[in-house]
Amino acid sequence: MTLDPKKLAKFASIERGPRDFINIDPLQTGGKLTPEAQKAIVEWGDGYSVCDFCPGCLDKMKQPPVSEFVHEVLPEFLGVDGARITNGAREAKFAVMHSIASEGDSVVMDGLAHYSSIVAAQRARLNIESVGHSGNPDYYIDPEGYGQAIEKVTSETGKVPALALLTYPDGNYGNLPDAKKIASICHEYDVPLLLNCAYSAGRMPIDAKAIGADFVSVSGHKSMAASGPIGIVGVNGDYVDTVFRKSPTHKIKEIEFLGCTARGATLMTLMASFPAVVERTQRWDEEVANARWFSEKLEGMGLIQVGQKPHNHDLMFFEAPIFYEISQKVKKGRYFLYKELKARQIHGIKAGLTKYFKLSTYGVGKEDLSFVVDSFEEIIDKYNK
């Protein structure tokens, strides 16, 4: 072994940098830990810390109360018959695809689907049929597109698709398509629908049954104030038996989850934040109002919010020709915006982006959002003198 301890020392003290910035990074706004979760991560940080009283499978654990959380609380929260903890939204999607479909089957998904939906389908050896959207500026998904895609797959392969997937909302424009309509169209063809709620469950109320979704995938680190990786899969109806089927040899172990998923601090942060998460989803109207207000302010400066308008979600995509023009003429080029925002302790727009970028207003609050708006204005004035 030739690993030099001196070289290794740096791993023992990695600092993250300032965390007191205003954060508008869509990946991060919904995943900031509550004080309760911060405590939990220290308390439960040791490996296998939750397993002291494990009866052999995670969801049956009484202490800590994982069983109550998984079997009573989460199904009610999501409107599903059964739920399980996964290591992320992608693992939830893969578990559904892998359990209900067979190699060579097709999955129909919206053209705005996250890459992880596509990779999950590939890992499950499924063919993907994409449902188009209207493109710029609305990126609207016509529910009828699902019917057309299902018919196309059926006529080309002689078999109805095993699954349809809808991204709710999509991770670029924050559009919330008509999920109820899409669910009902899919059901006309007996195709079950997986609603990918990575950006919604934990921010806004989600009721899979009311929507008609057969499955939901949830991301704890994206939208439930949890330290990842952690997620949830929700399942309705008879699909419960398929997705949660048990090993013939290890009778209490569920195959799709390799017997066990999150077994430590990540799960405990999800649980510790949960009361606050339930409370915040009930204040979703405020968040939408803040997002709309913010969008109007930026549009007043010449930026263009693309996607649904008025917007229905905190994740928003802006075109910013005014920043692009500045980037063409200043010394720091395309990094000027990042640097100006950093100087004002605002984090979240990717370094080097000016022409267009996405951001999230979730949980930022009106006061800090006003500061961001004022900062944008200041930056424009500064360079347009």
Residue numbers at the binding site for ligand PLP (CB under 6 A): 88-90, 114, 116, 167, 171, 196, 198-199, 219, 222, 231
Strands 193-196 and 163-167: parallel
Minimum CB separation of residue 346 from ligand PLP in Å reads 22
What single-letter DSSP state applies at residue 334? G
3-state secondary structure of 285: helix
What is the rounded CA–CA span in Å between residue 106 and residue 126?
A: 5
Quick one: CA dihedral 82, 88, 90, 94, positive or negative? negative
User: Which tokens in the block code for residue 330?
Assistant: 């200043």
What is the rounded CA–CA span in Å between residue 232 and residue 133?
A: 28
DSSP-assigned states of every residue in 347-366: E-SPTT--SEEEEE-TTT-H
User: Which tokens in the block code for residue 42?
Assistant: 């220290």
- Which residue type, as a one-letter code, is found at position 114? H
User: Which tokens in the block code for residue 333?
Assistant: 């080029």
Strands 231-235 and 215-219: antiparallel
Strands 315-319 and 356-360: antiparallel
Distance between terminal CA atoms of the chain?
61
